């Protein structure tokens, strides 16, 4: 499944300040990738030496292509964000486990914080045929309106959309985890009927994990730890499990049951 490939950049689009979408050619990734998998991209031939991990955001099997969303936070992502159509990228992928499809009959809730929409969008497209729009809700959070991704695109999916920003400049005011918690408690529905999938910054996923543990929710989270080799050899990306053992985010994850990990 895992392959080392050279793929061509087909397009590069700036979605927001410092946030880019790259479309890359690869029949292997477009055929094999599942929501939650990521690719490990070589930045340059020299520095930075280590590859950088990015979630697979969407695939187009018919056209042998896939997309990643990329936020510029440092040197690696800055270099990758400037790759132009026609340039090639060396990648390893698809890597990691994937989101388990929620059991039928559940109400599906996706909780995305900022760039966390990257793998969740791919998941949403896979769930669309299995669950009716009334049974799918997306919670999308961002620091402010200017950092809010995909609100319009999500409106077009028919899934229910709840937006929150930390400063209240779009949607409800507050952290997306607080809004999510308030909302599921308000409904008074049997929480066992929910299937929650989430991705976002570490702090947000720590809150999701605490909520999942306290309410015993079916909840999967996709973690984004610092990563070195990306193939399970170096143990540089571990997360502690409830049982005290360590799991590698790259190959045992990046998707974990939120009730089974201890996030610091
Ligand atoms: C499985 C997985 C999937 C990911 N998917 C995406 C994605 O779809 N889109 C996206 O934009 N990013 C994603 N990331 C994060 C992305 O890999 C990092 O932002 C990138 O590697 C940073 O490289 P850099 O050289 O630009 O920054 P560095 O120079 O390495 O770091 C710059 C700053 O960012 C912080 N940082 C770097 N990596 C991480 C990280 N993994 N988590 C938290 N803080 C970090 C550093 O501490 C530092 O403060 C993912 C990470 C993982 C593990």
pTM of the model: 0.95
Instruction: Tell me, using a 6 A CB cutoff, whether residue 248 lines ligand 1.
Output: no
Q: What is the pLDDT of residues 156-207, one digit of tens each?
A: 888 999 999 999 999 999 999 999 999 998 877 688 899 999 999 999 999 9
DSSP three-state, residue 200: coil
- Per-residue pLDDT of 197-250, as tens digits, reads 999 999 999 999 999 999 999 999 999 989 999 999 999 999 999 999 999 999
* C-alpha to C-alpha distance for 184 and 224, rounded to whole angstroms: 25
Q: Is 74 a pocket residue for ligand 1 (Cβ < 6 Å)?
A: yes
137-164 burial code (b ≥16 CB/10 A, e <16): bbbbbbeeeebbbbbeebeebebebbbb
CA of 249 to the centre of ligand 1 (A): 13
Q: What residue owns the CA closest to ligand 1's atom 29? A: 74
**Beta-bridge mates of residue 199:** 112, 222
Domains of the chain from N-terminus onward: 3-95 (2.40.30.10), 107-221 (3.40.50.80)
Q: Are 195 and 107 in contact (CB under 8 A)?
A: yes
Binding site membership of 8 for ligand 1 (Cβ less than 6 Å): no
Over residues 38-82, the pLDDT tens digits come to: 999 999 877 788 999 999 999 999 999 999 999 999 999 999 999
How far is the centre of ligand 1, averaged over its atoms, from the C-alpha of 226 (Å)?
Answer: 7
| Pocket of ligand 1 contains residue 253 by CB under 6 Å | no
CA 70 – ligand 1 centroid, Å:
9
Nearest atom in ligand 1 to 253's CA: 1
């Amino acid at each position: 499944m895992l392959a080392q490939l050279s793929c061509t950049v087909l397009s590069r689009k700036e979605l927001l300040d410092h946030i880019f979408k790259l479309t890359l050619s690869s029949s292997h990734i477009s055929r094999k990738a599942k929501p939650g998998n990521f690719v490990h991209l070589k930045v340059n031939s020299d520095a930075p030496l280590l590859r950088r991990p990015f979630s697979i955001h969407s695939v187009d099997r018919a056209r042998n292509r896939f997309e990643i969303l990329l936020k510029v936070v440092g040197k690696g992502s800055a270099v990758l964000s400037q790759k132009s159509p026609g340039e090639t990228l060396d990648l390893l992928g698809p890597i990691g486990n994937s989101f388990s499809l929620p059991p039928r009959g559940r109400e599906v809730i996706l909780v995305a914080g900022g760039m966390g929409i990257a793998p969740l969008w791919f998941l949403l497209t896979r769930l669309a045929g299995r669950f009716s729009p009334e049974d799918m809700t997306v919670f999308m959070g961002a620091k402010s309106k200017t950092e809010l991704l995909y609100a319009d695109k999500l409106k077009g999916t028919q899934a229910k959309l709840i937006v929150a920003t930390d400063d209240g400049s779009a949607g409800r005011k507050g952290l997306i985890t607080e809004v999510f918690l308030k909302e599921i408690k308000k409904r008074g529905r049997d929480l066992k009927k929910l299937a929650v999938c989430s991705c976002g910054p570490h702090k947000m996923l720590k809150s999701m994990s605490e909520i999942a543990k306290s309410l015993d929710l079916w909840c999967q989270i996709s973690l984004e730890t610092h990563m070195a080799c990306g193939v399970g050899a170096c143990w540089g990306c571990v997360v502690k499990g409830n049982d005290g053992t360590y799991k590698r985010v790259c190959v045992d994850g990046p998707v974990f049951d939120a009730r089974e990990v201890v996030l610091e």
